[in-house]
Amino acid sequence: MNVKAGAWIMAAGLTLASGGPAASSIFNPESFTLENGMQVVVIPNHRAPVVAHWVWYRVGTADSPSGKSGLPHFLEHLMFKATETIPQGEFSKIVARNGGNDNAVTSYDFTAYYQMIARDRLELVMGMEADRMVNLQLTEEAVLPERDVVIEERRSRVDNEPS
């Protein structure tokens, strides 16, 4: 994902989340809480037949145990691994085959996963997200290579960054 685009999307989302009359009158958000405690926010926009489907978890880098920074980002990567019904490496391919794109971001206090896809494919991606919430298969074969990827990302983005 383009970092600037991601930052603008997050800023818009955080601005809306902060509430206020202006945001409410422009976006007309609808929100409700499911029986399981999940909060849902729907911002209707009928200008195009596409949806931006986001799942946000209230866990980010600030939640890393002392001396174990990077765990939320590591889990972000692992969420793209296999489930009981989706083979390893297929999550993003399924989204792409259905005309969409997807990605994820880990921030200080949240981790979010999104798909941009035609509205008639919303049920598909919602089902895929629900599947990986509860059926993620974390085998040693899947975890170890991803650990190395995240360690290398840290080396290139944090450890080698001149201050």
* Residues 59, 40 within the same domain: no
Domain span at 32: 1-44
> Residue 104 maps to which CATH number?
3.30.830.10
Q: Span 123-127, mean pLDDT?
A: 97
> pLDDT tier at 94 (50, 70, 90 boundaries)?
very high
Whole-prediction pTM value? 0.77
Q: Same structural domain for residues 39 and 64?
A: no
User: Which residues form the catalytic set?
Assistant: 76
In a shared domain, residues 73 and 144: yes
The per-residue pLDDT for 99 is 98
Q: What does R_g of the chain's alpha carbons equal in angstroms? A: 17
Residue 34, burial from CB neighbour count under 10 angstroms (0-12, 13-18, 19+): exposed
Q: Is residue 163 part of a domain?
A: no
Q: Does residue 68 sit in the same domain as residue 19?
A: no
Burial (CB count within 10 angstroms: exposed 0-12, middle 13-18, buried 19+), residue 48: exposed
The pLDDT, as a whole number, for residue 24 is: 56
**Helices and strands per DSSP (H, E), number in the chain:** 6, 5
Total domains in the fold of the chain: 2
Looking at the fold, whether 27 and 86 belong to one and the same domain comes out as no
Q: Is the Cβ–Cβ distance between 38 and 58 less than 8 Å?
A: no
Give 154's contacts (C-beta < 8 A, 6+ positions apart).
70
Q: Tell me, yes or no, whether 114 and 34 share the same domain.
A: no
How far is the C-alpha of 64 from the C-alpha of 71, rounded, in Å?
6
Q: Of 38-52, 61-75, 96-110, give the lowest mean pLDDT range.
A: 61-75
| Bridge partner residues of 103 (DSSP) | 114
| For the chain, percent of residues with pLDDT exceeding 90 | 58
Residue 145 has pLDDT above 90, yes or no: no
36, 65: one domain: no
